[in-house]
Amino acid sequence: MRVLITGGAGFIGSHLCEFLLKEGHEVICLDNMTSGTNSNLEDFFYHENFTFHEHDVTKYIHIHGELDWVLHLASLASPVFYQDYPIKTLKVGALGTHKTLGLAKAKNAKYLFASTSEVYGDPEVHPQPEDYWGNVNPVGARSCYDESKRYGEAITMAYHNKHDIDTRIARIFNTYGPRMRPDDGRVIPTFIIQALNNEDLTIYGDGTQTRSFCYIDDLIKGIWKLMNTQINEPINLGNPDEISIKELAEKIIDLTDSESGKTYEPLPEDDPEKRKPDIAKAEKQLEWEPKIGLREGLKSTIDYFERVKV
């Protein structure tokens, strides 16, 4: 297969590039390096089946030849980054999704949209199944991201319904692992770097808010299963093992053997109180479930950050 991956120099995108190359496919990566890094591409940059284009997906995209798949992962993804660049975030979710769908239509390619658990906002239903419509503040601090992804889902379904494109919508829940940026701002890289440097871990709020963290290798397998199963409606991909942010901090201090303490800072606006995927649909229809526990996944991630020495 010949696959285009937007956002391929980012955390999830680079793992997907590497996975598809190993499966014997040709990969074209398109990224404007907003948050992507050259080092994420190092392991396969010179692979004979890999091509890189530096390009902004909100602008017209020209790709020579046929394409079997367009995987649209480009987005600002960390709350710190997307709140710093709200207009770029809205544009990549709206204009970028439109452009990449147009490309898929022109090439008669299948299409996958990387959506998010943020479409559920600060959820009032717990855990979150796909048929929950969410609780999103349309003008709050997170709205640039949440609404861009909700729009992205809507236009993906519209192209499926009107133009008969074979589409997928992956609602990805908090995913972590090697190749996240140390300065990403998301909680796992932030806590690991703080712990490795024996600095206090910065807990926002009282740390009772929860998340459910999925290791990258499990997510990539889920995306691959989704590509190979014709499910056009949104599907949750994540690990339902829920943990409070305070417990997460304690686990990371323990696993790094760190002398760090914990400090408490104000909770950011609209920070969801709890999040946990209902993955019954993925279990049944994809025959997929995450296999890597938090302890094991954190150890590999800590090893990575120790190796890159930050």
Q: Quote the least distance from Cβ 145 to ligand NAD, whole Å.
A: 7
Of the two residues 97 and 256, which places its CB atom closer to ligand NAD in the complex?
97
> Closer to ligand UDP at the Cβ: 48 or 265?
265
Catalytic status, residue 145:
yes
What residue ranges bind ligand UDP (CB under 6 A)? 79, 174, 186-187, 190, 202-204, 209, 211, 245, 268, 271
Q: Provide the minimum distance between the beta carbon of 11 and ligand NAD in the complex, in angstroms, as a whole number.
A: 3
Q: Which of 82, 120, 145, 159 is catalytic?
A: 145
Which residue sits closest to ligand NAD, CB atoms considered? 10
Q: Which is nearer to ligand NAD, 17 or 258 (CB)?
A: 17
The item of ligand NAD, ligand UDP, none sharing an interface with residue 148, based on CB under 5 to 8 Å by kind, is none
Interface residue list for ligand NAD (CB under 6 A): 6-7, 9-13, 31-36, 56-58, 73-77, 92, 96, 114, 116, 172, 174-175
Longest dimension (CA), the chain: 58
Nearer residue to ligand NAD within complex by CB, 199 or 217: 217
Choose the contact partner of 286 out of ligand NAD, ligand UDP, none; CB within 5 to 8 A by kind. Answer: none
Per partner kind, with CB cut-offs from 5 to 8 A, the member of ligand UDP, ligand NAD, none near residue 73 is: ligand NAD
- Token readout for 169 is 């919508």
Instruction: Give least dist CB 231 to ligand UDP, A.
Output: 24
Whichever of 6 and 167 has its CB closer to ligand NAD, that residue is 6
**Nearest-approach distance from CB 73 to ligand UDP, in angstroms:** 16
For residue 109, which of 43, 155, 50, 164 has the smallest C-alpha distance? 164
Tokens representing 225 are 């299963």
Tell me, letter by letter, the H, E, C secondary structure of the chain.
CEEEEECCCCHHHHHHHHHHHHCCCEEEEEECCCCCCHHHHCCCCCCCCEEEEECCCCCCCCCCCCCCEEEECCCCCCHHHHHHCHHHHHHHHHHHHHHHHHHHHHHCCEEEEEEEHHHHECCCCCCECCCCCCECCCCCCCHHHHHHHHHHHHHHHHHHHHHCCCEEEEEECCEECCCCCCCCCCHHHHHHHHHHCCCCEEEECCCCCEEECEEHHHHHHHHHHHHCCCCCCEEEECCCCEEEHHHHHHHHHHHCCCCCCEEEECCCCCCCCCCCECCHHHHHHHCCCCCCCHHHHHHHHHHHHHHHCC
Shortest approach of ligand UDP to residue 82 CB, angstroms?
Answer: 9
Name the residues annotated as catalytic.
145
